[in-house]
Amino acid sequence: MADSLHRASPLPGGTVTLEGATLSAAPEMGRYSLRARDPAALAALIGRELPDAIGACSGGIARLGPDEFYALLPAQDALPSGEGGPVSIVDVSARAVGIVVEGAGAARAIMAGCPLDLDRMQPGRATRTVFEGVEILLVRETETRFQIDVWRSFASWLWRSLAGVNAA
């Protein structure tokens, strides 16, 4: 009988309390890199509306560039995979994990290592940025809740850095 593979999370369980915020692992999500020269064709293929503006996020899909989207969806909401014509859909779920930072001090905690002025970032916006040199995808879900997607190989380091633990 073959053993099944189980990918363990690089994040510790539980919640860390920060000054005015909490840090926790995001639930398991499906993550998809979507590219489309014709966004209307992509929207028709996946059966979902796409955000019009770069940086907008709606229905779990963020528009990162003119032809680039990132979907962060509940695991059961799988998108069809495929490539061809004007679209490409690639499941990148195994590549990244999510960290939730929430509370009145969430923006301040993230800005400790991120160059963006998050006080100017409206809810429903998403962007690629860096946290102390590590590339992250940052989604502002509400005024006091952010989700950070980070590559699995950097996740433990990012967690410790956000939590104020020596991450070196």
Q: Is residue 123 part of a domain?
A: yes
Domain count for the chain, please give it.
Answer: 2
Which residue has tokens 């939730």?
A: 100
Entry pTM: 0.88
β-pairing, 134-142 vs 82-84, is: unpaired
Q: Does residue 142 sit in the same domain as residue 111? A: yes
With a CB cutoff of 8 Å and minimum separation 6, the contacts of 84 are: none
Q: What is the mean pLDDT of the chain?
A: 89
Where a domain ends, among 44, 70, 91?
Answer: 91
Is pLDDT of 83 > 50? yes
Mean pLDDT of 33-62: 92
Q: Does residue 40 sit in the same domain as residue 59? A: yes
Which residue has tokens 């955000």?
A: 51
What percentage of the chain exceeds 70 in pLDDT?
90
Q: Does residue 68 sit in the same domain as residue 101? A: no
Q: Does residue 41 sit in the same domain as residue 20? A: no
Query: Which structural domain, as residue segments, surrounds residue 106?
Result: 15-28+94-162
Q: Is residue 168 part of a domain?
A: no
Q: Is residue 81 part of a domain?
A: yes
pLDDT digits (tens, 9 = 90+) for 10-45: 887 788 888 899 999 998 899 999 999 889 889 988
Among the ranges given (8-22, 86-100, 101-115, 141-155), the one the predictor scored with the smallest mean pLDDT: 8-22
As a whole number of angstroms, the distance between CA 50 and CA 61 comes to 7
Closest among 87, 73, 85 to 34, alpha carbons compared:
87
As a whole number of angstroms, the distance between CA 135 and CA 14 comes to 24
Q: Does residue 150 sit in the same domain as residue 98? A: yes
Q: Does residue 81 sit in the same domain as residue 109? A: no
Q: Compute the C-alpha angle 130/68/154, nearest 5°.
A: 30
Q: Is residue 10 part of a domain?
A: no
pLDDT score, position 166: 47
pLDDT score, position 168: 45
Q: Is residue 8 part of a domain?
A: no
With a CB cutoff of 8 Å and minimum separation 6, the contacts of 6 are: none
pLDDT score, position 15: 87
Q: Does residue 132 sit in the same domain as residue 157? A: yes
